[in-house]
Amino acid sequence: VVTTGVGAHGRAPGGKTYRLPTEADLAAYRAAEQALQAQREQLRAAWGMEPLPDEPTPEGKGSGAERAFSVRNYGLDTWSDLFNPRQALALLTFADAVRRAHAEMLTQGYPEDFARAVATYLGIAVDNLSEKDNFLSRWANTKETVAGSFGRQALPMLWDYVEINPLSDSTGGWAGATEYNLRIIDHLSHIPAVPGGERSHSETPPSPLVGEGGRGGEGVRVTHASATRLPYPDGFFDTILTDPPYYDNVPYSYLSDFFYVWLKRTVGHLYPDLFSTPLTPKAGEIVAYSQVEGGFEAGKRFFEEQLAAAFRESARVLKPGGAAVVVYAHKSTAGWETVINALLDSGLVTSAAWPLNTEMQSRLRANESAALASSIYIVVRKVPRQPTGFYNDVRQELQQHLNAKLQRLWEEGIGGADFFIAAIGSAIEVFGKYEKVMDYEGNIVRADRLLEEVRAIATNYAVRQILHNGFASEITPLARFYVLWRWNYGEALVPFDEANKLAHSCGLDLSLQFGKGGCIKKEKEFVRLLGPQARKLDDLDEPRDLIDVLHKSLLLWEKGQRAEMVKALAESGFGRSAAFYRVAQAISETLPLESKEKKLLDGFLAGRERVQQEVEKEGRQGKLWE
């Protein structure tokens, strides 16, 4: 139990005390269990529905939820299972208070739209409360406060959780939830009004959640509609900003169910058309995992077709010459293929694409994977497109355009996975201005072929830059792959498809690299690149590739077997190669300070001059060279 200490005259000393629960604490918990049953029966009769959310938590392979939800594995089969009895009682009490507040406002003569808007904000506050007051809330010991359930876009199982007092002023309580929403409302109320404010007959009426701008027109308008069927006339908007779903990255609708089930109980009766389904609708969601029947390929086709329809609808409602900004941050090639094809099919012309740093470096996924730090902002316009472009000409144009763009990206410090993704965004500027691109055989060139070209251009450029414009043509395909992997992904696991495409751009057949003792290891659908610390000397008896010789040298250096290290470098011939040491230095520069591999490389390179002298001597004595 955590309590805030109170000093003389009722002043808090600025700290917290911790103690074990007392018998009185346990008795209060048991009393809450009994009160919950009575509350459920009472509210079930009053609401005409089960008060506690008995809807099922996500399940099912291929649904998009299996990667983000592990709670089903531990018997948490319904959303109400995420709350202990005392938490559930508190949430039901607040939910009932929201419904009664709405009824009381109507009784006192408040306008219906006003009463519904206030109740909706209160319902959102209950959702804020539920996100902190459940089985999956963590104790953030560095700040001594509760951290909510969504540290990332997932609901993983948690072995220890914190239970808050919702009536206190501490983080996660009701006071904090309402204060947070009030700050948002205040912020949004300062958005300038739209001049005029006239509405076409084809538009939907403004939402009751919308406040008036106060300067002769409407301010923010909230519309519930599909992106593929917008309720606006042709040429209505000057600008559109959209952040479409990231392929199969995030199970948006399943995560929304956490909040949906409580909103349905607080304000669902005020919006019957929005809460008519047990959980959020899934069939029309534009994500690559939504089509379970037909597998992943069917989901990919659905995503591309529906995203193209959404982009075409955006083009319809844009004024001639109007601009739209599309934000995208998926790191897989498959995800980008679908977005590029959708943009090419939309009729919009890409005029610019730039990476903006939008992601928190300390977020959990950034520590566990090769996550992006940037999002690509693609600017498209409703302008006439050029006629058909032939691939050979467009390819030459693409080479010139990308070389200039990649130079600028490099100078601005864009690196790793962000560099390659930014290159893809820039390539759309060239391809997207043509109605279609064809080769001389009459085949339409689509995104897969474009990305293959972009990857080759970006790979060659990156290798030259990483090696400081030297030795790029002298190193082996495996060494190119290794350098780019460390620069691009660090030491993270990478999906096989992405690893295979990177290998292909380096002239390496990835399937031939798997085997005993190699530095490339396949782990189910992922690939890992092993550093020297993960390899064995026994597997490096007769190393032939630069990377294998480097790893053997590092392991021998670590063990203090200097003579054997010098001999291996001399016999392989790499010990005399400036490219060998440049590759070692380049790998070190891509790795974080805490990396074991970096420490080995830095220690080895610190004595480089002496090592080269010993290699020369060993070579002459062993008659390896004159």
User: How far apart, in whole angstroms, are the C-alpha atoms of residue 391 and residue 371?
Assistant: 33
Q: With beta carbons less than 8 A apart as the criterion, state whether 570 and 617 touch.
A: no
- Each residue's pLDDT tens digit, 585-601: 999 998 988 999 999 99
User: How far apart, in whole angstroms, are the C-alpha atoms of residue 131 and residue 438?
Assistant: 52
Closest CA to 87 of 260, 253, 255, 262: 262
pLDDT of residue 206: 41
Integer angstrom CA distances of residue 23 from 28, 90, 250: 9, 21, 44
Q: Where are the beta strands (DSSP E) in 243-399?
A: 318-328, 349-357, 374-381, 389-390
pLDDT of residue 213: 38
Q: Where are the beta strands (DSSP E) in 421-542?
A: 437-438, 494-495, 520-523, 526-529
Beta strand pairing call for 389-390 and 16-18: unpaired
Tokens 């962000």 correspond to 418
pTM comes to: 0.72
User: How far apart, in whole angstroms, are the C-alpha atoms of residue 54 and residue 89?
Assistant: 14
User: How far apart, in whole angstroms, are the C-alpha atoms of residue 466 and residue 592?
Assistant: 16
Q: Within 10 A of 2 (CB to CB), how many other CB atoms are there?
A: 16
Judging by beta carbons within 10 Å of its beta carbon (0-12, 13-18, 19+), is residue 542 exposed, middle or buried?
A: exposed
User: How far apart, in whole angstroms, are the C-alpha atoms of residue 425 and residue 421?
Assistant: 6
Structure tokens at 501: 């495409």
Closest CA to 375 of 335, 346, 317, 402: 335
Closest CA to 380 of 317, 315, 470, 286: 315
Run means of pLDDT, 10 residues per run, the chain, 626 residues: 52 69 90 92 93 86 64 83 92 96 96 95 94 85 77 76 83 86 86 51 40 46 88 94 82 89 95 92 80 70 88 94 86 74 87 70 43 73 90 90 88 79 84 88 86 87 82 82 91 87 88 84 90 92 90 94 92 89 91 92 90 84 57
